[in-house]
Structure formats: C-alpha cells, structure tokens
Amino acid sequence: MDRVIIVGGGLAGVRVAEALRARGHEGALTLVGAEPHRPYDRPPLSKAVLMGRTDDTTVDADWSGLRCELLLGHRATGLRLEDERGGAVETTAGELPFDGLVIATGASPIRLPGDGPQDVLRTIDDARALRDGFREGARVTLVGAGWIGAEVATAAARAGCAVTVVEAADTPLEGAVGPEIGACTAPWYGEAGVELRCGVRVAAVESGGLALAGGEWIDADEVVVGVGVRPEVGWLAGSGLDLDDGVVVDASLRTSRPEIVAVGDCAAWWSARYGRRLRVEHWDTALNAPEVAAAALLGEESTYDPVPYFWSEQFGRMVQYAGHHQDAERLVMRGDPGKAGWAACWLSGTRLEAIVTVNRPRDLVQARRIMTAGTAVDPDAVADPEVPIRNAVRT
Ligand SMILES: Cc1cc2nc3c(=O)[nH]c(=O)nc-3n(C[C@H](O)[C@H](O)[C@H](O)COP(=O)(O)OP(=O)(O)OC[C@H]3O[C@@H](n4cnc5c(N)ncnc54)[C@H](O)[C@@H]3O)c2cc1C
C-alpha cells in the first residue's frame, strides 16, 4: 500500500499506526485527529485527572520513528470511494487520497434537550474544565448512574461538592450489568454522601438546573450528563459503507471494502464467539483490536474475537467486568454484596458467560481465562467465594 490514512487520534488510531509499521507497512502514513492533542488515554480522565492526581495522559508513542504525519485539529468530513479500490477522505485540511483507510473515530457523548449549560466528559479538555468546577459546596447534578456517572460522582464528592445523581432506570448500572447487580451498587452513593435518585426522567437542562419530567426542578451549579455515547460515524453517511450502530465490519475488522477497516468504539464487528455483532466501548478493545485491523489491511488473515473486558473505579472500589451476560440463563452471587469484596457470575448450564467483581481482581483474571477457553465449570464451586474460580473448572 502506498498511502494509508488513519482517521481518529484516540488510542485505537495510534495503536493501528504502530501495528502497521511493526508489520512492515513502508508506504506513507497519515493520522487525522479532530482534537488538537496527541492521542491520549481516556480512562484516567474520570479518575486521576478529575481527582487532580495527573494532568497528562498522552499515550507514549515514537511519532518520528513511526514516520506518521499528524494532522491534529483537523476533522474528516466525508469519504469518497473509487469504484474498484481506494478513494479520498475529505477533511478540513483538504482532500487526502488513500489506498488503505483506517476508521477509528470513536464515539461522542449523547446530550439532553434544553438550552442550559450541560457538561459531558469525553476529552481531556472536558476533564480539566469539570475539575475546575468541582469546588467545595458547589451543587453538582449528574444525569446518568452508569460507569462514567459513578466515577464523576466519586470525584465530585471527594472535592466537597453537594452531589445529586439522577437516573432514569430503577438502579445504577442497569444497562451495563442488569438491575440485580446494579442494586448492589446503590448503597455506595449514600455512603459517599451522594444523593441518588433512580426512576427519575429529565425533561430538559435549563439555566440554573434540571427540569424533571414530572414537573419538579433541581437547582444545580453544574449539570454533568453521562447518559451514553453514539459511534462517531456521521462523516461516513452516503459513502456506501455499511453503517448500523457503528461501522459494520467482519471478524477481521474489514468493511465491505478490503482496503478499509474500522476499529475501537466506532466499529461493530462480527463475533463468532457470541454469534452476533458487537460494538464494545472499552479501552481493552481500542488497545488490542488494532493488531487485527492492521493485519487485515495488509492482507493477512487474523480475527478479533475476545471476551470483552472493562473496569471502573468508583467510590473507592475496583469494579471489573468480563464477558457478555445478555443471553445467560442465571446469575450466581459469589460472596455478600454488603461486604468490601464480592463477585457475581452469569451462567448458562455449566458455561460461564460473564463475571463482575468488586475488589476481587483474581476472580476476574481466572474467570476471563475460563471464558476464553470455554471450559465448563461447577456452578456450586462458582458460588463459593472461598473456592478460587480456577478450581471451579470441571475436569
Ligand atoms: C471519561 C472516560 C472514562 C473511561 N473509562 C474507562 C475505563 O475505566 N475502562 C475502560 O475499559 N474503558 C473506559 N473508557 C472507554 C475507553 O476510553 C474507550 O473505549 C476508548 O477511548 C476508545 O478508543 P477509540 O480510539 O476507539 O476512540 P476515542 O478515544 O473516542 O478516539 C477517537 C478520536 O477520533 C476523533 N474523531 C472523531 N471524529 C473525527 C473525525 N470526523 N475526524 C477526525 N477525528 C475524529 C475524536 O476527536 C477522538 O479524538 C472511558 C472513556 C471515557 C470517555
């Protein structure tokens, strides 16, 4: 390939650049990124950056060694494909012809109706601005008790703000881990001095606060909205590429055009493991899928089909999740959710489908290995927190 363009300057973008060079791509390489910053890690934004422990999360990359041209602060606005192969990316820096294209444009936060100021947390600039607004006594209202909402609430409470979290579902994290496990995390809010209000819908964000669907009003100095993200694929509309909740790609992360791959938060890939398309907004995917995307672009055979993994640090706890529980037959608790450390496993028969752990990293590591291998487990042993999960494997 003579000229590869990477669109998107997040973790997935930089990792693809590295993987392409490591696999012997000698042609030109250009990365176009809408943000003015070099690629950086996002997970610390809602943790160490908000807490003031660090201000810089730039990914360590040898840009000159990579021979990768960086067009930062420039945005792709459209894609024009030639009939057979290749085409051009339309950008704010002009048209960039390519014979290989990597789509790594991530996802963008969903905003709520209303013309009052609402903050979101996606970029390092968002994180710095939020941190500056978290002053002792400030009334901070968060909309959404998902992963990001819980982490932002943790930081705001630590900064001495008066924090209220408003959630439309009946429990926190309901969309991510279901109502039973979500309910186990609800007491954490009160313990941290955060008011949690579930089953409450927001009508609009207005100047000075939130208008709720029932007519009630909540005063707020800062409104932070964490109600999820959408894949950032608007610039691909009309290009001919298949878009369906992200860029549709196969098990090798190729689009319908072999010279175009998509990776990271914006890619919906085919998982043979789960027999469905997955789009996973997790750091682990942005870190590891680029190897496969680069291989696919260079015409090598490789597939991406991991057990998805995610972690979150909230209210002084390390919460980790691996697997995919949506089709599981039952949920088995592993320990007492009232205690400092516990876990829960989703099972179908003797198959371990997913696990969530709270302060039990070993359980996570062992369960992830079992799920990757697809080994059968003894459900009674899984339910016993005294038995290491690896010993629950049926021989
Ligand atoms: C605050 C926060 C905390 C998180 N915490 C965790 C965590 O604890 N654990 C975990 O597993 N995951 C976490 N995540 C998720 C994880 O960070 C993402 O899955 C990961 O960043 C995805 O990387 P990406 O490169 O695919 O996309 P992104 O990081 O979104 O990067 C995409 C880049 O492309 C740019 N772009 C978009 N459109 C265009 C365009 N048209 N032209 C040019 N550039 C464009 C964007 O500006 C962006 O810089 C967190 C995310 C956030 C925001």
- Ligand 1 closest atom vs CA 123: 53
* Confidence class for position 395, pLDDT limits 50, 70, 90: confident
Span 188-195, average pLDDT? 98
Question: What number is the average pLDDT over the span 146-166?
Answer: 98
Report the SS3 class of residue 39.
coil
Residue 135, pLDDT above cutoff 90 = yes
Cα(266) to centroid of ligand 1, in Å? Answer: 9
- Closest residue by CA, ligand 1 atom 38: 105
100-114: per-residue pLDDT in tens?
Answer: 999 999 999 999 999
pLDDT, mean of residues 162-178: 98
State mean pLDDT over 294-321.
Answer: 97
146, 182 contact by CB (below 8 A): no
- What is the rounded distance in angstroms from the CA atom of residue 22 to the CA atom of residue 337? 45
User: pLDDT value at position 336?
Assistant: 97
As for ligand 1, residues whose beta carbon falls within 6 Å of it are 7-13, 32-35, 42-43, 45-46, 75-76, 104-107, 121-122, 148, 232, 235, 264-265, 281-284, 286, 310-312
- Mean residue pLDDT of the chain comes to 97
Instruction: Summarize pLDDT for 271-305 with one digit per residue, the tens.
Output: 999 999 999 999 999 999 999 999 999 999 999 99
Q: What is the mean pLDDT of residues 75-86?
A: 96
Q: Which atom of ligand 1 is nearest to the CA of 42?
A: 17
Interior CA angle at 348 toward 342 and 354, to 5°? Answer: 40
Distance 10 CA to ligand 1 centre (A): 6
CA of 32 to the centre of ligand 1 (A): 15
Q: What percent of the chain has pLDDT over 70?
A: 100
* C-alpha of residue 374 to centroid of ligand 1, in Å: 30
Sheet containing 276-278: order of strands: 247-249, 267-271, 276-278
The pLDDT tens digits of the residues spanning 224-240 come to 999 999 999 999 999 99
Report how far residue 207's alpha carbon sits from residue 222's, in angstroms, rounded to the nearest whole number: 10
Which residue's CA is the closest to the ligand 1 atom numbered 37? 105
Point out the ligand 1 atom lying closest to the alpha carbon of residue 267. 26
Atom of ligand 1 nearest to the CA of 266: 26
| Closest protein CA for atom 16 of ligand 1 | 283
Over residues 20-48, the mean pLDDT reads 98
Give, for ligand 1, the residue of 261, 283, 317 to mutate: max count of ligand atoms closer than 8 Å to Cβ. 283
pLDDT number for residue 220 = 97
Report phi then psi at 334, rounded to 5. -130, 85
Confidence of residue 338 (pLDDT cuts 50, 70, 90): very high
Euclidean distance between CA atoms 250 and 81, whole angstroms: 19
Contact between residue 166 and residue 218 where contact means Cβ atoms under 8 Å apart: yes
Residue 111 CB neighbours (<10 A)? 12
Q: Is the pLDDT of residue 57 over 90?
A: yes
Average pLDDT over every residue of 154-171: 98
pTM, entire model: 0.97
Predicted confidence at residue 162, as pLDDT, reads 98
For residue 258, pLDDT beyond 90: yes
Residue whose CA lies nearest to ligand 1 atom number 35: 8
Task: Tell whether the model's pLDDT for residue 351 goes beyond 90.
Answer: yes
Taking CA atoms only, the protein residue closest to ligand 1 atom 13 is: 43
122 CA closest ligand 1 atom index: 53
